[in-house]
Structure 1
Amino acid sequence: MKILIVSEEAEHRNEIQHAFRQGEVKAEFLEAQLGLEAIKMAKRHEPDFLFVDVHLSGESGLEIAELLYQLDLRTELILMGKEAAYAVEAFRLRAFYYLLQPFQQDDLEYLVYLMQKEHRNRRNTLGHKLPIECQEGISYISPKEIVYVSKNKENKTVSIYTTEEHYISTYTLQELEQKLIAYHFLRVHKSYLINLLYVKSLKPYYNGTYNLYVEQYNEPIPVSRNYVKSLRHRLEI
């Protein structure tokens, strides 16, 4: 698993890493001392778990946590603080855990256990495929093969465009959005869901809207004004 630790205290960063080494858990660690540095690293690396100390000089750790939460990454947030009262803020931000300082060994061990369990569940989910009924039977598609999904206004069907094929789905766009939420998908328009991994370019169109272009296909995908900010947050370093 990939873990980003945001804290000015080298001792805290070392304690967390030591807990994983003691438990013989394989993990890749990234470190940041400043909030803005952490945001750039989180967007670039999309860690599985993100530790944020609420006590950061120059900027509030909670403000940074709020910004990271708004990025809508597939990252579980773990807040760290000296006061139990911050657990309420952790709950508001839907944090995975609130780690009280100074760290207690049994608390760290329990957190490592929870993180391992969550990581295993995610890996199992990533092995799933989407079933698509067709004339030949049922085709199973890996989410990573899907480039984008669109709703057809004329016949109210939903099309799934992959790197090699085009399928007509019996799912609604909302159902597909829920099924693909664990992957790199984002709604950019009321009729379009795109895989961020295939985004090639974004061009201004009209009145604050944009046209998005993806690999494999030449047709522009419209991006509504209210989706532009979240799209750029997810894409840009």
Structure 2
Amino acid sequence: MTFKIRTVIVDDEPYSREELKHLLGSYEEVEVVAEAGSAEEGLEKILFKDPDVIFVDMEMPRMSGTELVEAVHKLKRVPLVIFATAYPDYAIKAFRLQALDYLLKPFSDDELADTMSRVYKSMGTDVPALRKPASSEKLARLAVEHQENIIYLSPDDILYASAVEGETAVVTKERRYISKSSLKDLEQKLSPHHFFRTHKSYLVNLRAIKQLIPWFNGAYQLKVHGADEDIPVSRNYIKALREQLEL
């Protein structure tokens, strides 16, 4: 297929740019022709690349996403604008700026699919409807942060994930990484890879479990290969866990 939707992503958070590029990679018609870490850089890329669609973060240092879009509206050919932000309160402002859609972080496969369907409709193309990735489709890699870099982990290398004090951690044998996704979002992504929710704050790779230890009041603790931490198992989850582990 020769038809391409030329796209530019503007966001000052490298993780968000990488995550959005990863999700857009599910759609063969979409070509990310440029990305920018600031609104000023984004304006330059938009002028140079002449994209069909731009994804723009609202909150950025110095020049905001709304200021960028106001500048873009002065161009001879104005691309479709999709705001991608963590702040739901800006929706009204986004649509006043004639944005086609408004995506909230962390990005959802289903919401992005709906957005891209609107893109097709607005462009008046006869390209077949975009598919929504099936919930059973396996994740290739999980993006996490380490020392300001984006690291892609194989699900098989992940021992467990935890949500403690507002921070989501992903633990391997080598180190502990930080994820911008919620534990609920990770559960959806990793469930096809034999991960199990043992506690409201823990998600565990079933293949890494080596020992189940009675604790108190019907609760248990887990030990996993390659990690020192004892992982709690709520009594509400213990029956389903044992069914997963035992013959």
TM-score (norm 2): 0.45
TM-score (norm 1): 0.47
